[in-house]
Amino acid sequence: MAAPSHVLPFLSPAGTASSVRAIPRRRAAHLRCAAAAGQAGFFTRLGRLIKEKAKSDVEKLFSGFSKTRENLSVVDELLTYWNLADTDRVLDELEEALLVSDFGPKISFRIVDTLREEIRDGKLKSGAEIKAALKRCILELLTSKGGNSELNLGFRKPSVIMIVGVNGGGKTTSLGKLAHRFKNEGVKVLMAAGDTFRAAARDQLEVWAERTGSEIVIDNDKKAQPPAVLSQAVKRGKREGFDVVLCDTSGRLHTNYGLMEELVTCKKVLAKALPGAPNEILLVLDGTTGLNMLQQAREFNDVVGVTGFILTKLDGTARGGCVVSVVDELGIPVKFVGVGEGVEDLQPFDAEAFVEAIFP
């Protein structure tokens, strides 16, 4: 009777493998390769599909950035009756509008200098052309510095996503909304309640698990450390065939170096449980803090190596320009933006849709 395909080749006393039983191993290797290719294709399609949904949800993005758009409505007022003699005054007021919307001094000065040069060279001859050039400058900043904003889910199951950030930024809520998006695409999701320091965080994640129909791994004895919970979750994810493991972590100030180092331990534990994990480390940043988020982002990136940002609470602020600032400063893409309280309001970030949303 033929040996099952998972059986390794039998070694004879002389140390040579039996050719009869080596065939199943080659077949098993072929099947493993085919399975891996299938999983890679699944994750590639999933990342692309979630990103494509951003284009169909553009109305949510428009309503979410209404306060920033209101701030920048002055752009149309300035450019409608623009003439060459008014160039310096108009550009000064345009620069001020960008600064108020938290684009930051460096970006605001750079954009205005580019516009001034193109006007001087005769490339821009009307207010409409200046506005188009302004939007083009912002889009180029986002696409050249931010790279690919699709989720990188790897090539085999489970894909592991680690969520980090300070307390109060919307970390656990963002994880829950992300799980909702995955579940809508038929993905089998496992949550890991790695915020073991806050009982409320575990309870909140359990509510999200129930709400989204996801499974969850929690600290049952209430004494386990975060790395142990995350390791247990990834091992269960492998064992039970989950597609995605979403790992919550304890909120921490970026100035608390002891707690920041714990994130490094969490990352190492995930990699030990599943080589290549985590596939994404997403830093949740509170959009209402504006440019103050930059220092947080730098510290987290230096310690744990952030792969993407989730910017939350942007519907409650006129500081939408901070999206451009954080990408320009760190060269890390924004993956999602929070533009409302609803479960659907964590939107995949699309640079082109964003630029259209912030200008009237």
CB 235 within 8 A of CB 273: yes
Tokens of 237: 């994810």
Q: Which of 326, 272, 275 is nearest to 301 (CA)?
A: 326
More confident residue, 298 or 40: 298
Strands 189-194 and 159-165: unpaired
Confidence label for 5 from pLDDT (cuts 50, 70 and 90): very low
Residue 337 DSSP SS3: strand
Contacts of 180 (CB under 8 A, 6+ apart): 211, 212, 343, 344, 346
Backbone angles phi, psi at 283, to 5 degrees: -95, 125
Tokens of 343: 């479960």
pLDDT for 350: 87
Rounded CA-CA distance 229/227 in Å is 6
Residue-wise pLDDT tens digits, 7-21: 333 333 334 343 334
Average the pLDDT over each of 45-49, 242-246, 312-316 and give the range with the smallest value. 45-49
Contacts of 203 (CB under 8 A, 6+ apart): none
Exposed/middle/buried for 133, CB within 10 Å: 0-12, 13-18, 19+? middle
User: pTM of this prediction?
Assistant: 0.83
pLDDT for 3: 42
Backbone angles phi, psi at 295, to 5 degrees: -65, -40
Residue-wise pLDDT tens digits, 184-206: 999 999 999 998 887 788 899 99
pLDDT for 47: 59
